Amino acid sequence: MHRSATPPRPLRAGRVRSLVAAALGLLIGLAAPAVARAQQMSVSGTVTGAEGAPLQGVTVTVVGTDIRAVTGGNGRYQVTAPPDATLNFSLVGRRPVQTSVSGRGTVDVTMERVAYLEEVLVTSYTEQRRSDITGAVASVPMEAVNRQTNASVLQRLAAATPGVTVDASGSPGSRSTVRIRGISSFQNNDPLYIVDGTPVQDSYVNWLNPNDITSIQVLKDASAASIYGSRASNGVVVIETTKKGLVGPPRTTLRVRTGMAQPVRGYDDFLIQNSLDYFQVVKASYENAGQPVPTNIFGSATSPRVPGYIWPNNCGPGGAPGPCNTLDLSGYSYPSNLIMPGSTGTNWWKAVFGTGKLTDVNLDVSGGSPDNAYGVSFAFFDQTGTARYNEFKRGTVRVNTEFRRGKISFGENMALGAERAFGGIGNDAFGEGAILGKNILMQPVVPIRDVAGNFASGKAVGLGNNTNPLKHAFETRNNVSHNNRVFGNVFGAVAPLPALRFQSRFGFNVGQSTFAGYSYPTPENREPTNTNSINENQREFLDWTWSNTGTYALTYAQNTLNLLAGTEANAGRDRFISGSIGQLLNTAIPSRYIQDPLGDPATKNVSSSGGRSALLSFFTKADYNFADRYVASVTVRRDGSSRLGPANRWGTFPAFGLGWHITNEPMIPRSRWVNDAMLRVGWGVTGNQFIPSGRIVAQYGGGRGETFYDIGGNNNSIIAGFRATALGNPNLKWEENRSTNVGTDLTLWDSRLNVVFDWYTRKTSNLLFDPRLPATAGRAAAPIVNIGSMRNTGFDFSVGHRAANWNVTFNGSHYKNEILTIAEGRTEFSGPYGVRFGNPVRNRVGHPVGAFYGYVVNGFFRDSADVANSPKQAGAKPGRFKWKDINRDGKIDANDRTIIGSPHPDFTAGLDMGFRWRSFDLNSTIFGSFGNDVFDTQKQFYIFRNFDTNVRKDLLANSWTPTRQNAKYPRLDYTDTYSKDLSSFYVEDGSYVRLRNLQIGYTIPANTPWISRALVGTRVYLQGENLFTITGYDGLDPALPALNVTGAAGDVRDQARGIDVGTYPSNRVFSIGITTSF
Amino acid sequence: MRIASKHPLLFGTALALVSAAALYGCKDFLAENATPQGTLDQGTLSTKTGAEGTLIAAYRQLDCNRTNGAWGCAASNWVWGSATSDDAYKGSEATDQPAIDEVELYHWDSPGAQDYLDQKWAAMYEGVSRANAALRLAKAVASSGQLSASDANGITGEAIFLRAHYHFEAWRMWGNIPYYREDDTDFRKPNLQSAQVVTELLRDLDSAAKLLPATPRNGQKGRVTSWTAKAYKGRVQVYANQWAAALATLTPIVAAEGGPQSTTKTGWDLSQSYDQVWTGFKAQENGPETIFAYQASANDGEPEGYNANFGERLNFPHGGPWGCCGFHQPSQNLVNFFQVDAQGLPLALSAPSSWNVRDTNFTAADLTVTVDPRLDWTVGRDGVPFKDWGVHQPGWIRAREWGGPYSPKKNVHEKASGAESTVGWVPSQLNSVNIHLFRYADLLLMLAEAEVEAGSVNNAMALVNRVRERASRKAQGCGVPTDTAARRVLVTRYPQCAPGGTADTRIAVPINDPSITWARYAVGQYTSFPSQTYAREAVLAERRLELGMEGQRFFDLRRRGIAATVLNAYFNTGVGGGAEKNRRAQFKGAEPFIAKHNLYPIPTNQIQLSKIGGQNRLTQNPGWPQ
CATH of the domain at B30: 1.25.40.890
Choose the most confident range, by mean pLDDT, from A257-266, A802-811, B245-254, B569-578: B245-254
Distance CA B585, CA A292 (A): 9
**What's the confidence (pLDDT) of residue A182?**
87
Residues of B in contact with A729 (CB under 8 A): none
**What's the confidence (pLDDT) of residue A429?**
60
**What's the confidence (pLDDT) of residue A14?**
32
DSSP label of B621: P
Average pLDDT over residues A850-876: 94
A191: nearest Cα among A206, A173, A179, A175:
A179
Q: Which of B32, B189, B300 sits opposite A710 (nearest CB)?
A: B300
Q: Which of B125, B189, B425 sits opposite A775 (nearest CB)?
A: B125
- The mean pLDDT of chain A is 86
Residues of A in contact with B55 (CB under 8 A): 721
Tell if the CB–CB gap between B180 and A565 is shorter than 8 Å: no
Neighbours of A632 (CB within 10 A): 17
- Among A219-223, A958-962, B199-203, the minimum mean pLDDT is found in A219-223
Q: What residue in B sits closest to A532 (Cα-Cα)?
A: B425
Please give, rounded to a whole number of angstroms, the shortest distance from the CA of B178 to a CA of chain A: 9
> CB of B423 within 8 Å of any CB in chain A?
yes
**Cα of B263 vs its chain's centroid, Å:** 28
Residue B93 covered by a domain: yes
Distance CA B611, CA B617 (A): 6
Question: Which run of H or E residues covers position A536?
Answer: strand A533-556
- Among A565-574, B30-39, B117-126, B430-439, the minimum mean pLDDT is found in B30-39
Please give, rounded to a whole number of angstroms, the shortest distance from the CA of A600 to a CA of chain B: 8
**What's the confidence (pLDDT) of residue B567?**
97
Residue B278 covered by a domain: no
**Residues 6 or more apart whose Cβ sits within 8 Å of residue A348:** A267, A268, A440, A441, A442, A444, A448, A469, A470, A950
Backbone φ, ψ for residue B329 (5° rounding): -90, 135
**What's the confidence (pLDDT) of residue A123?**
65
Question: Which run of H or E residues covers position A610?
Answer: strand A600-626
B23 has pLDDT over 70:
no
Tell if the CB–CB gap between B613 and A504 is shorter than 8 Å: no
pLDDT digits (tens, 9 = 90+) for A55-66: 877 888 888 776
Backbone φ, ψ for residue A461 (5° rounding): -55, 135
Neighbours of B140 (CB within 10 A): 17
Distance CA A155, CA A139 (A): 16
Domain range enclosing B602: 1-212+594-626
Share of chain A above pLDDT 90, in %: 50
* Start-end of H helices in A885-943: 939-942
A24 has pLDDT over 50:
no
pLDDT digits (tens, 9 = 90+) for A411-467: 999 999 999 998 855 555 667 777 788 888 999 999 999 999 999 998 888 888 889
> CB of A749 within 8 Å of any CB in chain B?
no
**What's the confidence (pLDDT) of residue A275?**
95
**What's the confidence (pLDDT) of residue A45?**
85
Please give, rounded to a whole number of angstroms, the shortest distance from the CA of A347 to a CA of chain B: 23
Residues of A in contact with B60 (CB under 8 A): 706-709, 721
Tell if the CB–CB gap between A694 and B36 is shorter than 8 Å: yes
Tell if the CB–CB gap between B98 and A604 is shorter than 8 Å: no
SS (H, E, C) B238-260: HHCCCHHHHHHHHHHHHHCCCCC
Average pLDDT over residues A749-754: 82
Average pLDDT over residues A551-567: 89
B62: nearest Cα among A701, A706, A781, A725:
A706
pLDDT digits (tens, 9 = 90+) for A623-656: 898 888 899 999 999 999 999 999 999 999 999 9
**What's the confidence (pLDDT) of residue A51?**
66
pLDDT digits (tens, 9 = 90+) for B64-79: 887 666 799 999 999 9
> CB of B244 within 8 Å of any CB in chain A?
no
Q: Which of A603, A610, A947 sits opposite B37 (nearest CB)?
A: A610
Residue A32's pLDDT band, with cuts at 50, 70 and 90, is very low
A496 has pLDDT over 90:
no
Q: Which of B218, B425, B606 sits opposite A774 (nearest CB)?
A: B606
Choose the most confident range, by mean pLDDT, from A493-497, A708-712, A748-752: A708-712
A850 has pLDDT over 70:
yes
How close are the terminal C-alpha atoms of chain A, in Å? 37
**What's the confidence (pLDDT) of residue A962?**
94
**What's the confidence (pLDDT) of residue A8?**
37
Q: What is the pTM of this model?
A: 0.88
Please give, rounded to a whole number of angstroms, the shortest distance from the CA of A377 to a CA of chain B: 34
A107 has pLDDT over 80:
yes
> CB of A981 within 8 Å of any CB in chain B?
yes
Please tell me the total count of domains within chain B. 1
Residues 340-399 of B with CB under 8 A from A: 394-395, 398-399
Tell me the CA distances in angstroms from B501 to A535, B416, B494, B496, B559, one per residue in order.
Answer: 47, 20, 13, 10, 53
Please tell me whether the interface predicted TM-score (ipTM) of this complex is above 0.90.
yes
Please give, rounded to a whole number of angstroms, the shortest distance from the CA of B317 to a CA of chain A: 12
> CB of B125 within 8 Å of any CB in chain A?
yes
> CB of A325 within 8 Å of any CB in chain B?
no
Q: Is the pLDDT higher at A663 or at A778?
A: A778
A336 has pLDDT over 90:
no
Q: Which residues of A544-577 are buried (b: 16+ CB within 10 A; e: fewer)?
A: bbbbbbbbbbeeeeeebbbbbbbbbbbbbbbbbe
B319 has pLDDT over 90:
no
**What's the confidence (pLDDT) of residue B480?**
94
Distance CA A441, CA A942 (A): 7
> CB of B66 within 8 Å of any CB in chain A?
yes
> CB of B46 within 8 Å of any CB in chain A?
no
Most A CBs within 10 A among B49, B54, B56, hence the mutation to make, goes to B56
Share of chain B above pLDDT 90, in %: 81
Please give, rounded to a whole number of angstroms, the shortest distance from the CA of A26 to a CA of chain B: 22
Residues 126-165 of B with CB under 8 A from A: 126, 128-130, 133
Tell if the CB–CB gap between A693 and B36 is shorter than 8 Å: yes
Residue B164 covered by a domain: yes
**What's the confidence (pLDDT) of residue A600?**
92
Residue B539 covered by a domain: no
**What's the confidence (pLDDT) of residue A244?**
66
**What's the confidence (pLDDT) of residue B565?**
96
Share of chain B above pLDDT 70, in %: 95
> CB of B53 within 8 Å of any CB in chain A?
yes
B5 has pLDDT over 70:
no
Q: Are A206 and A485 in contact (CB under 8 A)?
A: no
Residue B513 covered by a domain: no
Size of interface A-B (CB pairs under 8 A): 357
Share of chain A above pLDDT 70, in %: 92
Tell if the CB–CB gap between B394 and A314 is shorter than 8 Å: yes
**What's the confidence (pLDDT) of residue B66?**
72
